[in-house]
Structure 1
Amino acid sequence: MLTSANDGLTGASDRNKIQRIFISCDIEGISGVVHGDHAAQGQGEDYGRARRLMTKQVNAAVAGAVQGGADMILVNDSHGTMRNIILEDLHPAAHLVTGAPKPLSMMQGVADGFDGAFLVGYHSRAGTPGVLNHTYSSRTVAELRINGTVAGETLMNAYIAGCYGVPVLLVTGDTEATNEASDALPGVKTVAVKEPVGRYAAKCLPFDEANARIREAAAEAVALIGKARPLLPPTPARFELRLMNTAMAEYVGLMPGAERVDTLTVAYSDDDYIKAFKAARVMITLAASADPY
């Protein structure tokens, strides 16, 4: 089990007071990231630079959490292969979960007893005007609904955190992502680091200013521990995926328990939100096996 740096210096009674922050960090909502070349491994200097920006921006959130009084911080790399954050450059107060696949994907580790969650570098859902907007898979998913509500990764992952009693305290990304977060999570702290000009263009804050705003908001977010409430998921949970072409829906429709709603849409329901979420991940993986032609 991972321990905080303070564990060896406190008595057993004090350990119950340790404040633990979980951070899920994506890349598309990082300041300066605007194109697929920034987000895809193998794209040379653009990707390498984006990794460094991602690491520095999550460091700002970690530094703010420490400033706010957090004792233990776990960062989960949540983009693509989930091997993006540069460990040796990560803030020394943070532990890192890296690599994939992981049972809870972008939220791996949140089930381990945290007081609050930060979603750093998040993007808006598919079909919005946000930079690099998509929902989980830009290749396969045109729209995701959870119990009839159009959802992006912010809402989907806030529900995962809610399953384990963890409130989302802070969300950073472009203005579309932060507006989406505010709509889904009343009272959440947000920091917009860029304003969309188009799907592949943005007006970005100066990088140091963006990080300063994140540090300040992260410190303030820690103060919400004990006041903010987790977002409880609907039960039963129904994930409905509208896919990019009919072949994708045909493949996904082969999965036991999947419901073919129409030519492009497939759904899965379960009394357990986490099981329904995992089924949706399998559906997206199956969809990717279809010929994109």
Structure 2
Amino acid sequence: MERIYISADIEGIWGNADSAHTMKEGAAYEQYREHMIWEVNTAIDAWFANGAKQVVVNDGHGGMDNLIASRMDERAELIIAHGAYKEYGMMEGICSDFDGACFLGYHCRSNTPGVMAHTIWGAQVRCIHINGEEMGESGINAHLAWYYGVPLLMVSGDSLLKEQLQEELETDVQFVETKRTINSLCAQNCSRLQLKERYAQATAAALRMRPVIAPKDFYTIDITFHKERNASFVARVPLTERLDACTVRIQGSDYDELYRRMRFLIKICDAF
């Protein structure tokens, strides 16, 4: 496993539990950003310690410009852009050249008691179903990695996310528990020393795994918004079918194209 792709979010990061502080206007945003930088660097170091030759990191939270280039591990590469200019959003930069993918600081899907649980854009999206099964960001993004033939090796986040991964994925991945879920805005963090050891152990174990990918031949993606007006607006886009007041459907065999279309629909749903 010489080339590793990392997609990093903030809600599942160690030390972060309050959604009021994960956006730039939040009172503790700079502190939460520091936690994210530290944990991503911890994971990068673990990958290089276990033989990686290249690690590419994509910031996947909010505006997707939370990581500071000058503060990142000097051996890693960082994809720089505001999220509006990332066609693939959380998965910008993924391609078939990578030997494995790693999702850091991920969280549970919407309408669950996971820490700061939501799906892509919590203020607008109620839920997303792929082939009839509700998916969180881990499952949605895993399918894109699999589309490119890249196995998902490791995920980190709160304890409830580990249970959801078993529901959403058809293969085992190494999991790093950053905190124990108490409720959606309360968590018990492990110590930093424990977390560093967990990353070291999980990375080493991931490299011993037999990589598995589980793509589908055909995909039906149902996006349910909180508001009727959002579904009404995006239903105007060609190849988008409206199922009910708040739900639209896109479908096809090319998951790459569907992923980009899904992201576009969600981005424009409130553009009025």
Normalised TM-score (structure 1): 0.87
Within the candidate set 211, 220, 223, 2:205 is matched to 220
Deviation at 1:41, TM superposition (A): 1.1
CA–CA separation in structure 1 for the residues paired with 2:198 and 2:170: 20
| Corresponding position of 1:19 | 2
SS in 1 for 2:95: helix
Within the candidate set 152, 155, 176, 2:160 is matched to 176
SS in 1 for 2:98: coil
CA–CA separation in structure 1 for the residues paired with 2:252 and 2:240: 11
Deviation at 1:182, TM superposition (A): 3.2
| Corresponding position of 2:86 | 102
Deviation at 1:104, TM superposition (A): 1.8
CA–CA separation in structure 2 for the residues paired with 1:93 and 1:222: 19
| Corresponding position of 1:145 | 129
8 A contact 1:68–1:223 mirrored in 2: no
Amino acid at match of 1:228: P
CA–CA separation in structure 2 for the residues paired with 1:50 and 1:288: 27
SS in 1 for 2:179: strand
| Corresponding position of 1:187 | 172
Deviation at 1:43, TM superposition (A): 2.0
Q: Indicate whether 1:121 and 2:105 are aligned.
A: yes
- Give deviations 1:243-291, integer Å, cap 9, x for gaps: 101111111111111111011111111221111111111211222235x
8 A contact 2:176–2:198 mirrored in 1: yes
Distance 1:160 1:228, change over 3 A: same
Amino acid at match of 2:23: A
Distance 1:289 1:83, change over 3 A: same
Deviation at 1:38, TM superposition (A): 2.5
| Corresponding position of 2:249 | 267
CA–CA separation in structure 2 for the residues paired with 1:244 and 1:205: 35
8 A contact 1:125–1:133 mirrored in 2: yes
| Corresponding position of 1:250 | 232
Aligned CA-pair RMSD: 1.5
Deviation at 1:179, TM superposition (A): 1.9
Which structure has the greater CA radius of gyration? 1
| Corresponding position of 1:75 | 57
Deviation at 1:52, TM superposition (A): 0.8
Amino acid at match of 1:42: E
Within the candidate set 150, 157, 160, 2:141 is matched to 157
CA–CA separation in structure 2 for the residues paired with 1:272 and 1:178: 28
Amino acid at match of 2:64: M
Deviation at 1:215, TM superposition (A): 2.5
Amino acid at match of 2:63: T
| Corresponding position of 1:282 | 264
Deviation at 1:54, TM superposition (A): 0.4
State the percentage of identical aligned residues.
Answer: 31
8 A contact 1:70–1:222 mirrored in 2: no
CA–CA separation in structure 1 for the residues paired with 2:157 and 2:170: 15
Amino acid at match of 1:207: R
Deviation at 1:185, TM superposition (A): 4.5
CA–CA separation in structure 1 for the residues paired with 2:170 and 2:178: 19
CA–CA separation in structure 2 for the residues paired with 1:285 and 1:76: 19
Amino acid at match of 1:152: G
Within the candidate set 34, 48, 52, 1:52 is matched to 34
Q: How many residues align?
A: 269
| Corresponding position of 2:25 | 42
SS in 2 for 1:110: coil
CA–CA separation in structure 2 for the residues paired with 1:205 and 1:178: 15
Q: Indicate whether 1:32 and 2:15 are aligned.
A: yes
CA–CA separation in structure 2 for the residues paired with 1:269 and 1:214: 37
Within the candidate set 213, 222, 226, 1:230 is matched to 213
